[in-house]
Amino acid sequence: MAQQPYKRTLKLMGSRFEITVVAKDSIVANKHIDTAVAEISRIEKLISSWDANSQTSEINRNAGVSPVKVSPELFELIARSIKISQLTDGAFDITYASMDKIWKFDGSMTQMPSEEEINASVAKVGFQNIFLDRENSTVFLKMKGMKIGFGAIGKGYAADKAKALLISKGVASGIINASGDMNTWGKQPNGEDWKIAITNPMNKNKVFALLPITDGAVVTSGNYEKYVNFQGKRYTHIIDPRTGYPSSGIISVTVFAPKAELADALATSVFVMGKETGLDRINQLPGIECIIIDDKGNITKSKNIEFDKL
């Protein structure tokens, strides 16, 4: 029988996941999809800060108190997160979870928070205050009230792990789409590359580019849905963990990288760093590209991207 794609859509990690595998029949395909789902659920248990029993919650509970012994997997994820923080000058920071939620994007805000409130909101944020002890596999958050969260990297990490597991089980081709974080491998049954559409947030029904993607990840981070306007300036829900102020100027960032975890983290970081700094940083990273759409609708791309506009 000819191979064909089988797809399942479900809610995992509080997000919509679409898992597609290419297989010879639905029985084989469903078995593989079940494997991917089990792996994503396992990771959610490990990294969820909502689950009181997770190792992440244990780290947060012991902030300012004592180091917590964690699994090598979580230890390495935190170590890689710190590296990305260093790479982005703190624009990406898993201790963003320590931020007081003073910005509301549900229509209830009538005025901007005061400068004092904003400064106070990020007082406990700072990746420099995560202490890792590799020998004992422990993680310690220096200040009471500090918290870590994997909101900007967790879905990508889970997609990478599920993809690696499916490849190890002999699945030659597929896509894991974690609500916009696309992770692909292999080719379509007709031998063509998988293609992803990039839409223009200014006009959601319009696709401006179709890009072939081989064995890599593409993450689009958009903030055109959640924002507030004050004094004619648009503030979006992606907040700079260093300052407590929302990012502005960019409405969509698409990052191409070998792994979804990195693409995920960098997409958020580019928003925070802004167009010039973000682009400059991406251009220095081998194998990573990005497309930025600013709030005027201008499209800027990193130096090695070639695409045909539709």
CATH of the domain at 100: 1.10.3980.10
pLDDT by residue for the chain (310 residues), tens digit each? 679 999 999 999 989 999 999 999 999 999 999 999 999 999 999 999 889 999 999 999 999 999 999 999 999 999 999 999 999 999 999 999 999 888 887 778 888 889 999 999 999 999 999 999 999 999 999 999 999 999 889 999 999 999 999 999 999 999 999 988 899 999 999 999 998 887 777 776 777 777 888 789 999 887 666 677 777 777 778 899 999 998 888 988 999 999 999 999 999 999 999 999 999 999 999 999 999 998 888 889 998 887 655 4
- Whether 306 is covered by a domain: the verdict is no
Task: Please tell me whether residues 180 and 241 are part of one structural domain.
Answer: yes
Residue ending a domain, choose from 73, 106, 141: 141
Task: Please tell me whether residues 200 and 73 are part of one structural domain.
Answer: no
Picking from 296, 93, 92, 281, the residue whose alpha carbon sits closest to that of residue 202 is 296
pLDDT at 307: 62
- Whether 35 is covered by a domain: the verdict is yes
- Whether 310 is covered by a domain: the verdict is no
Task: Please tell me whether residues 85 and 162 are part of one structural domain.
Answer: no
User: Which ranges constitute the DSSP H helices of the chain?
Assistant: 26-47, 55-61, 72-87, 115-121, 154-168, 260-273, 275-283
pLDDT at 70: 98
Task: Please tell me whether residues 39 and 157 are part of one structural domain.
Answer: yes
CATH of the domain at 22: 3.10.520.10
Task: Please tell me whether residues 190 and 297 are part of one structural domain.
Answer: yes
Hey, what's the torsion of the CAs at 86, 265, 233, 201, to 10 degrees?
150
* β pairing state of 194-200 and 227-230: unpaired
- Whether 148 is covered by a domain: the verdict is no
Alpha carbons 154 and 196: distance in angstroms, whole number: 22
- Whether 309 is covered by a domain: the verdict is no
Task: Please tell me whether residues 72 and 185 are part of one structural domain.
Answer: no
Task: Please tell me whether residues 169 and 252 are part of one structural domain.
Answer: yes
Task: Please tell me whether residues 170 and 40 are part of one structural domain.
Answer: yes
The range of the structural domain enclosing residue 291 comes to 4-44+153-301
Say if residues 149 and 54 touch (Cβ distance below 8 Å).
no
Task: Please tell me whether residues 158 and 295 are part of one structural domain.
Answer: yes
- Whether 24 is covered by a domain: the verdict is yes
Task: Please tell me whether residues 248 and 294 are part of one structural domain.
Answer: yes
Which of helix, strand or coil describes residue 208?
strand
What does the block give as tokens for 20? 């597609």
pLDDT at 1: 65
- Domain total for the chain? 2
Residue ending a domain, choose from 112, 141, 170: 141
Task: Please tell me whether residues 13 and 59 are part of one structural domain.
Answer: no
- Whether 189 is covered by a domain: the verdict is yes
Task: Please tell me whether residues 75 and 119 are part of one structural domain.
Answer: yes
Query: What is the pTM for the complete model shown?
Result: 0.92
pLDDT at 160: 96
